[in-house]
Amino acid sequence: MNTKCLIIGSGPAGYTAGLYLSRAGIEATILSGPQIGGQLTDTHEIENYPGFPENISGYDLMEKMKLQSEKFGTKVLTGVVTEVDFSKRPFIIKTDDNQEFVSESVIIATGATAKYTGLEAEKKYLGQGVSACAVCDGFFYRKQDVVVVGGGDTAAGDALYLSNI
C-alpha cells in the first residue's frame, strides 16, 4: 500500500499527527499495533485532560481522537511493524501479517510502556493503589505515604514530584 505519510502508533501522538496531516491535505495512514488507541485506553477515568470537566475514560478519549482523525481522511489500519528500510526513499515498512507499505515519510509514535515488577499483588491492585504514572495519579495519593519502585531517572523524578504533594 502506498501512502504519503505512515504513522506507526495509534496513541494520542499518532492520532494527532494523522489529524494535522489530513487537515493539511497530506495523505496519512496510521498503523496501529495490537492495542488500538495505545496504553491510554487502559485508563479507567481521566480527569486532567483539557476540555473534559466531567472526566472521560481513556478508551472514550482515544475513540474520539480516532474518529476526529478519520473525519479528515486519515486511514487507521492494524498491524505490528517488523521491519523498516530507511536506507532509501520511498521507505518500505513491513508488518507481521505480511503487509507492505511504501511511504515518503514515516512518523514513529509508538509511545511508552510502563515497567512493572511482575508481582501478583501488583497486577491485582493496578488502578486501585498501584500506578505507573505519578503525574497522572499522584493527586489521588496526596498527603499519604507512598512507595516508588525503581532506580532510574523516572523513579527519581516521580519521587520528587510526589514529595511535593
Q: Could you identify the residue written with the cell 493527586?
A: 139
On whether the CB atoms of residues 161 and 138 are closer than 8 A, the answer is: yes
Beta bridge partners of 50: none
| Catalytic position from the list 5, 137, 153, 158 | 137
CA–CA separation, 11 and 19 (whole Å): 12
Assess whether 136 carries a catalytic annotation: yes
Q: Which of 103, 107, 126 is nearest to 42 (CA)?
A: 126
Annotated catalytic residue within 5, 60, 85, 136: 136
Q: Is 133 a catalytic residue?
A: yes
Q: With contact defined as beta carbons under 8 Å apart, do 132 and 113 qualify?
A: no
Within the chain, strands assigned E span 2-8, 28-32, 75-78, 81-85, 91-95, 100-108
Catalytic residue selected from 5, 97, 133, 158: 133
Which residues does the annotation mark as catalytic? Answer: 133, 136-137
